[in-house]
Amino acid sequence: MKHKTNENELATLIIGLALKVHTDLGPGLLERTYQECLYFLISREGLFVEKEKRIPLLYEDVYLECGYRIDLLIEHSLVIEIKSVEYLHGLHIAQTLTYLRLGNYKLGLLINCSSSEAETRI
């Protein structure tokens, strides 16, 4: 697999892989299940992916571990937050935006695997 250099191409690939996982497994499983399967597929594509990536908070020039963890970070640039909930709420979006801000990342996907149709927000 040729590495994707364009963030939009990378996001498109990941959305396709997430849809594959959702189609294969169906809705309603634990978030961790979808995360592990998506991690496997992304790794198989030859992309660099980190699971449960810790992200510290910078406060008064000190990095503090506050428990923030990105579900998947792909190619050091794309944040993936996976949910398995009936509906995505503002809190889920805020969480993803917080990870983008704290890590100084430009692009994130919030993926909900619980509904009968996979829901993805960018």
pLDDT digits over 19-35, tens only? 999 999 999 899 999 99
116 within domain boundaries: yes
Average per-residue pLDDT in the chain?
A: 90
Does some domain include residue 2?
no
Residue 122, pLDDT score: 47
- For residue 25, the enclosing domain spans 7-121
The answer as to whether 104 is a domain residue is yes
77 occurs within a structural domain: yes
What's residue 54's pLDDT?
95
Report the number of distinct structural domains present in the chain: 1
What is d(CA 47, CA 1) in angstroms, rounded to the nearest whole number? 8
CATH number at residue 117: 3.40.1350
Residue 24 maps to a domain: yes
Burial 57-70 (b: 16+ CB within 10 A, else e): eeeeeeeeeeebeb
* Predicted structure pTM score: 0.86
Q: Is residue 11 part of a domain?
A: yes
